[in-house]
Amino acid sequence: MSDEIPFDRTFDLGPGVVDEVIPGVRRLLANNPSPFTYRGTLTYIVGRDQVAIIDPGPADERHIAALLEAVRGETVTHIVVTHTHRDHSPAAAAVKAATGATVVAEGPHRPARPLHIGEIKSQDAGGDLTFRPDQTIADGETIRGPGWTLEAIATPGHTANHMAFAHKQAEVVFVGDHVMAWSTSIVAPPDGAMSDYMASLEKIGRRSETLYFPGHGGPVRDAPRFVQHTIRHRQGRESSILHRLAKSPADIPTMVRAIYIGLDPRLFGAASLSVLAHLEDLVARGLVHTDGPPSIGGIYRRARA
């Protein structure tokens, strides 16, 4: 298997349109397109009459109004949040106020590791720091309504509190930003951690579901195979970093320029953080050295074999 991921960027849904993507699952796109969010954040509505909303989305009045219109006449029992980035969770407060639903998530936003002295939080990560769930949910726990059961799958890596949710009856997984068909996921310290991310890929790839609904872009089909490609791709990136460092010590911008050929300049910061995420993992495993804790400004050396 190659380390090329078979991306599928097909996506023809416009903002504000309610689309029943499979029976009993509707989706609605927020109008927040960007290089990080693709066409925007997808909010999913699970069930009929008594429904759960997955990832209510950004604090965008028009999206919230469209979402409330989509569930008019129905009872929203749960607002389920995959993770606390500002494009996924902030609308929970307004949707809860309008519906009285219970907000369910793994927990508040938190970094994957303690911040280093002087470390500035990444502007790309965009944590929703005010978010608090009404009900925390742990790996393997379920919430249910008529015709649907959602099982929480702890999938830390993109963020420390990331959860995917398996729809047991439909045999699909709402994967948030863990796996997406259009792009790799951003794993950016301090929100994200590469060792956790790789373990979470292995974990979800062992499951039987073959169709994933991500927070951005179209469905992931043939999902376990796609996950294996993603794992290979990350391993390939790690090899590229080690290969570059075998030539000489280097800083992160040098490695980004060597590894990411044809990178959209708007994504240079995100790519730098992704390389930092790999380096944190490589330093922890003793394969790479740096002075002090791995940092965005550090110089990195290949450890002597």
User: What residues line the site for Zn ion (CB under 5 A)?
Assistant: 85, 177
Handedness of CA 63, 17, 211, 71 (dihedral sign): positive
Pair 43, 216: CB distance under 8 Å: no
Shortest gap between Cβ of 272 and Zn ion (angstroms)?
17
Shortest gap between Cβ of 186 and Zn ion (angstroms)?
7
Nearer to Zn ion, 83 or 229 (CB): 83
Nearer to Zn ion, 11 or 289 (CB): 11
Nearer to Zn ion, 106 or 177 (CB): 177
The residue at minimum Cβ distance from Zn ion is 85
Shortest gap between Cβ of 20 and Zn ion (angstroms)?
25
The residue to which tokens 């909010």 are assigned: 43
Nearer to Zn ion, 85 or 229 (CB): 85
Shortest gap between Cβ of 72 and Zn ion (angstroms)?
28
The residue to which tokens 């749960």 are assigned: 78
Rg (CA), the chain: 19
Distances (CA, A) of 164 to 104, 116, 204, 265: 12, 29, 9, 30
Beta-ladder partners of 102: 78
Amino acid at 140: G
Q: Within a 10 A sphere around the Cβ of 142, how many other Cβ atoms?
A: 12
Nearer to Zn ion, 8 or 124 (CB): 124
Shortest gap between Cβ of 250 and Zn ion (angstroms)?
28
